Amino acid sequence: MKLHFWQMVFVLACLSVTGGCTSLFEKHVEWETIKPESYPVLTAVGYAPIDSQNGASDSQKNLMAMKASKLDAYRELAEQVYGQRINGQQSLANMVLNNTQLQTSVEGVIRGARVVKSYPVGEDTYATELSLDMAEVYDIYLATTRPQRIKTVNYY
Protein backbone atom coordinates (compact mmCIF):
# COMPACT_ATOMS: atom_id res chain seq x y z
CA MET A 1 0.00 0.00 0.00
CA LYS A 2 1.42 3.33 -1.07
CA LEU A 3 0.84 6.50 0.97
CA HIS A 4 0.78 9.80 -0.79
CA PHE A 5 2.79 12.72 0.56
CA TRP A 6 -0.21 14.52 2.13
CA GLN A 7 -1.45 11.32 3.74
CA MET A 8 1.95 10.81 5.37
CA VAL A 9 1.98 14.39 6.63
CA PHE A 10 -1.49 13.90 8.10
CA VAL A 11 -0.52 10.64 9.85
CA LEU A 12 2.65 12.23 11.31
CA ALA A 13 0.70 15.26 12.50
CA CYS A 14 -1.87 13.04 14.22
CA LEU A 15 0.84 11.00 15.92
CA SER A 16 2.69 14.07 17.18
CA VAL A 17 -0.49 15.69 18.54
CA THR A 18 -1.67 12.60 20.41
CA GLY A 19 1.81 11.81 21.67
CA GLY A 20 2.27 15.33 23.05
CA CYS A 21 -0.87 15.15 25.19
CA THR A 22 0.09 12.15 27.27
CA SER A 23 2.23 12.35 30.37
CA LEU A 24 4.61 9.62 31.33
CA PHE A 25 4.40 10.50 35.04
CA GLU A 26 1.79 11.78 37.43
CA LYS A 27 3.16 14.53 39.65
CA HIS A 28 2.41 16.14 42.98
CA VAL A 29 3.55 19.75 43.53
CA GLU A 30 4.10 20.98 47.09
CA TRP A 31 4.12 24.75 47.64
CA GLU A 32 5.67 26.90 50.36
CA THR A 33 4.93 30.49 51.38
CA ILE A 34 7.51 33.18 50.54
CA LYS A 35 8.35 35.55 53.41
CA PRO A 36 10.28 38.81 52.92
CA GLU A 37 13.50 39.26 54.86
CA SER A 38 12.71 42.70 56.29
CA TYR A 39 9.74 45.03 56.64
CA PRO A 40 9.96 48.83 56.59
CA VAL A 41 7.82 51.09 58.75
CA LEU A 42 6.41 53.98 56.72
CA THR A 43 5.42 57.28 58.29
CA ALA A 44 3.38 60.17 56.94
CA VAL A 45 2.26 63.56 58.20
CA GLY A 46 -0.88 65.32 57.00
CA TYR A 47 -1.74 68.98 57.51
CA ALA A 48 -4.99 70.97 57.33
CA PRO A 49 -5.82 74.63 57.98
CA ILE A 50 -8.29 75.20 60.84
CA ASP A 51 -9.87 78.55 59.85
CA SER A 52 -10.69 77.35 56.31
CA GLN A 53 -12.87 74.48 57.58
CA ASN A 54 -16.67 74.61 57.44
CA GLY A 55 -18.22 74.83 60.88
CA ALA A 56 -20.31 77.07 63.07
CA SER A 57 -17.90 77.06 66.01
CA ASP A 58 -14.18 76.83 66.61
CA SER A 59 -14.52 73.31 68.04
CA GLN A 60 -16.32 72.13 64.88
CA LYS A 61 -13.59 73.67 62.73
CA ASN A 62 -10.94 71.92 64.88
CA LEU A 63 -12.69 68.55 64.42
CA MET A 64 -12.93 69.06 60.66
CA ALA A 65 -9.24 70.03 60.51
CA MET A 66 -8.36 66.85 62.45
CA LYS A 67 -10.24 64.73 59.93
CA ALA A 68 -8.77 66.60 56.96
CA SER A 69 -5.20 66.25 58.27
CA LYS A 70 -5.76 62.51 58.80
CA LEU A 71 -6.99 62.14 55.21
CA ASP A 72 -3.96 64.07 53.99
CA ALA A 73 -1.67 61.73 55.92
CA TYR A 74 -3.44 58.71 54.38
CA ARG A 75 -2.93 60.26 50.94
CA GLU A 76 0.79 60.59 51.66
CA LEU A 77 0.98 56.93 52.77
CA ALA A 78 -0.81 55.88 49.58
CA GLU A 79 1.76 57.83 47.56
CA GLN A 80 4.59 55.98 49.32
CA VAL A 81 3.00 52.56 48.83
CA TYR A 82 1.52 52.87 45.33
CA GLY A 83 3.35 55.83 43.79
CA GLN A 84 1.89 58.91 42.22
CA ARG A 85 0.46 59.23 38.72
CA ILE A 86 1.60 62.41 36.98
CA ASN A 87 0.04 63.74 33.78
CA GLY A 88 1.52 66.76 32.07
CA GLN A 89 0.55 68.84 29.06
CA GLN A 90 2.13 71.80 27.34
CA SER A 91 0.89 73.84 24.43
CA LEU A 92 2.96 75.89 22.05
CA ALA A 93 1.78 78.70 19.76
CA ASN A 94 4.07 80.71 17.49
CA MET A 95 7.05 78.99 19.11
CA VAL A 96 6.02 80.42 22.50
CA LEU A 97 4.96 78.21 25.39
CA ASN A 98 1.32 79.09 26.09
CA ASN A 99 0.05 76.71 28.69
CA THR A 100 1.60 74.17 31.02
CA GLN A 101 -0.62 71.81 33.02
CA LEU A 102 0.43 69.23 35.53
CA GLN A 103 -2.04 66.87 37.19
CA THR A 104 -1.27 64.31 39.87
CA SER A 105 -3.35 61.55 41.40
CA VAL A 106 -2.93 58.64 43.75
CA GLU A 107 -5.17 55.63 44.25
CA GLY A 108 -4.90 52.69 46.59
CA VAL A 109 -6.08 50.94 49.72
CA ILE A 110 -4.19 51.42 52.98
CA ARG A 111 -4.78 48.80 55.66
CA GLY A 112 -3.16 48.65 59.07
CA ALA A 113 -2.15 52.30 59.49
CA ARG A 114 -2.10 53.74 63.00
CA VAL A 115 -2.44 57.32 64.21
CA VAL A 116 0.78 58.14 66.06
CA LYS A 117 -0.06 61.72 67.03
CA SER A 118 -2.64 64.37 66.21
CA TYR A 119 -1.89 67.95 67.30
CA PRO A 120 -2.28 71.65 66.43
CA VAL A 121 0.66 73.39 64.77
CA GLY A 122 0.62 77.06 65.55
CA GLU A 123 -2.82 78.66 65.70
CA ASP A 124 -4.22 77.83 62.26
CA THR A 125 -2.98 74.34 61.29
CA TYR A 126 -3.66 70.83 62.46
CA ALA A 127 -1.29 67.90 61.88
CA THR A 128 -1.74 64.13 62.06
CA GLU A 129 1.11 61.61 62.01
CA LEU A 130 0.46 58.06 60.75
CA SER A 131 2.59 54.95 60.89
CA LEU A 132 2.30 51.90 58.62
CA ASP A 133 4.20 48.78 59.67
CA MET A 134 4.65 46.71 56.53
CA ALA A 135 4.96 43.52 58.64
CA GLU A 136 1.32 44.03 59.67
CA VAL A 137 0.37 44.78 56.06
CA TYR A 138 2.05 41.53 55.03
CA ASP A 139 0.11 39.61 57.69
CA ILE A 140 -3.15 41.15 56.42
CA TYR A 141 -2.14 40.20 52.89
CA LEU A 142 -1.44 36.60 53.95
CA ALA A 143 -4.87 36.41 55.57
CA THR A 144 -6.52 37.18 52.22
CA THR A 145 -4.19 35.53 49.68
CA ARG A 146 -1.44 33.02 50.19
CA PRO A 147 1.58 33.78 47.94
CA GLN A 148 3.33 30.54 47.09
CA ARG A 149 6.28 29.03 45.28
CA ILE A 150 7.10 25.45 44.40
CA LYS A 151 8.65 23.58 47.32
CA THR A 152 8.96 20.08 45.84
CA VAL A 153 7.69 18.10 42.88
CA ASN A 154 7.19 14.35 43.25
CA TYR A 155 6.74 12.21 40.16
CA TYR A 156 4.95 8.88 40.37
Rounded to whole angstroms, how far apart are CA atoms 135 and 40? 8
The answer to whether residue 13 sits within a structural domain is no
Q: Above pLDDT 90, what percent of the chain?
A: 52
The answer to whether residue 8 sits within a structural domain is no
> Can you tell me the mean pLDDT for 58-82?
95
Q: What is the pLDDT of residues 102-145, one digit of tens each?
A: 899 999 999 999 999 999 999 899 999 999 999 998 888 878 87
The answer to whether residue 16 sits within a structural domain is no
What confidence category does residue 43 fall into, taking pLDDT thresholds of 50, 70 and 90? very high
Q: What pLDDT is recorded for position 84? A: 92
User: Is residue 75 within 8 Å of 106, Cβ to Cβ?
Assistant: yes
Q: Above pLDDT 70, what percent of the chain?
A: 84
Give the chain's domain count: 1
* pTM confidence score: 0.66
- Kindly tell me if the per-residue pLDDT of 22 is higher than 60: no
The answer to whether residue 15 sits within a structural domain is no
Domain span including residue 33:
25-155
Return the higher-pLDDT residue of 19 and 58: 58
The answer to whether residue 59 sits within a structural domain is yes
What's the Cα-to-Cα distance from 108 to each of 5, 54, 122, 155, rounded to whole Å? 61, 27, 31, 43
The Cβ of residue 139 has, within 10 Å, a number of other Cβ atoms equal to 12
What confidence category does residue 46 fall into, taking pLDDT thresholds of 50, 70 and 90? very high
The answer to whether residue 10 sits within a structural domain is no
Q: What pLDDT is recorded for position 97? A: 83
Rounded to whole angstroms, how far apart are CA atoms 117 and 66? 11
Q: What pLDDT is recorded for position 82? A: 93
The answer to whether residue 42 sits within a structural domain is yes
Q: What pLDDT is recorded for position 4? A: 66
The answer to whether residue 31 sits within a structural domain is yes
